[in-house]
Structure 1
Amino acid sequence: MNQFQYVRPTKNKAAIDTVAKEQTAMFIAGGTNLLDLMKRGIVVPEKLVDINKLPLRKIEKENGAVRIGALALNGEVAEDKLVLEKHPLLSQALNAGASAQLRNMATVGGNMLQRTRCPYFYDTALPCNKREPGTGCGALQGFNRMHAIFGHSDKCIAVHPSDMSVALVALDANVLVSGPKGDRKIPFAEFHRLPGDTPQIDTNLQKGELITAVEVPETAFTKNVNYLKIRDRASYAFALVSVAAALQIENNTIKDARLAMGGVAHKPWRLTDAEKALVGKPATEQTFRQAAEIAMRGAKAFEHNQFKLKLGPNTIVQALKNAAAAV
């Protein structure tokens, strides 16, 4: 690990100005992912701007939404009474992530910004366009069991690792950011990027922009929800496939639906066509299977992740069944 400077500003503007002006400066909060990247030489910041003294930790109700500060810890958010009441899907997704120790250190903003866990990205001896543009994607012809089946390109087939983000995209959250040019609000569905020709760019944040909060609008999805994560072991493993499912059911008829997947794309993968197919239909397994079939349209697997083409729709169906049965 290279030497670096370390500062702890107490004002948002001071933190933003430092990162905006210095080419390799980076924000750090919990550091649960960033420190790993630094140790492996994947990122080499010359200055770390510790933002833990900034007033960005509150969880509160504001203007018909739950506003979650960027520095709120994953463990705190998952157990917060307001979140449990208004957005139990988010709580389930957070509790499915990492381990209790990491959840009690990782922040909401950091969770969103974590990098892929693709082994080709983490091994600096192997080619990776995300780590070093132009070197190629080792996963394309390599071992690609964990990799994308949606939205990939010939430059990158890595997947986004966050469970929390899958729930937030399903819940139509917004990301609040502050930067050198002022404040703005980014719909969560537009926050992360697909790889295209620039897989090294994960999000649509601009240089110096700081996530200040996530805003989750109130919805009717307070009961019939389920976050289902399929992984190789029960704890501290990233998703092979995950599904965030939320239903509004009246007299066994689906009045509204939200559906998103994790472990299948470079960003949390919202299934809007499948959602539309659910609305107005009875909450039955046949309905769920029809929606799952629609959800998987356009999926393309590689040598070692062909199983996701079957695991994906089966996980969607089970998540919807679990959501429908929730009390």
Structure 2
Amino acid sequence: MTAIHAAATPAGTAGSPVPLRLGTRASVLARTQSQAVADALTAATGVPVELVLISTEGDRSSATIAQMGSTGVFVTAIRRALTDGEVDLAVHSYKDLPTAPAPGLSLAAVPVREDPRDALVARDGLTLGELPPGSRIGTGAPRRVAQLRALGLGLDIVPIRGNVDTRLGRVRGLAGLEGPGDLDAVVLARAGLSRIGHTDRITETLDPLQVLPAPAQGALAVECRSSDARTRELLGRLEDTPTRACVVAERSTLATLEAGCSAPVAAYAEVAEGEAGPELFLRASVTALDGSDSVRGSLTGPPADAAALGRALAADLLDRGAAALMAAGR
């Protein structure tokens, strides 16, 4: 593991709290969202936070997520640093986490979620429906590949990797970015573009009826050691209860399907006020990688039953052939 300590605040002085050490990946997006959590934590508690940059397997590899074929490639090294006491807390993109809990670690906070939808960045300001057949569209996620193919638009889906600016640089004609410009468009998470100030690049935010988001997309997961009661209490002040309910439902669907982040599985939950109080509306889908077939479903229930709703919806999808679609993708 490679860890580079980058202090965002000075070490504690006499009479001031000792800074908490926050482990994060070194990408611009990871640092930006981790700094946002650090700033929110300091504002809520008065405790300073410094970032500790950690290199992960996913950062060092040039392979696509599907080629790496395992969950946890962006989080294992960070979790090891947390377990070993090198950092006090860690911030992850929630969708990168394996669905199984990590021994000795607690998911202490799920802050308010960004918009979880996918976004298109295309040449000439085009929308998805305006791109002509044969247009080259870049994405590294099998879920997006499968759903884009299922739309039947005749698009040529190209696997890509890299940070946000690298991916944007692949789009032909985008001003102010370096890159080969060999694609007509890319599809990225809107949340990531928003966090680093690139929403002006978006030519269309994709309706979930067209492309359903990944489980927990747009959400952050803040972890600490289970034994660290003080840090758990501090982090609890960042918790957003509706966001946690939504991501619990989505990831419960994913876990019951026994699928990882490289599977063509989508899930999206929303909490809204119903006649009898808050209700959670969960949608999920599994799509064949070639787009030839899919199963979709939805359930509604109390937010307190989020995990059970996810399990029930996954069971319904499995009864209707989801396992065969995922197996074909592998």
TM-score normalized with structure 1 length: 0.29
Greater relative contact order: 1 or 2 (C-alpha under 8 angstroms, separation 6 or more)?
A: 2
TM-score normalized with structure 2 length: 0.28
Structure having the higher helix fraction is 2
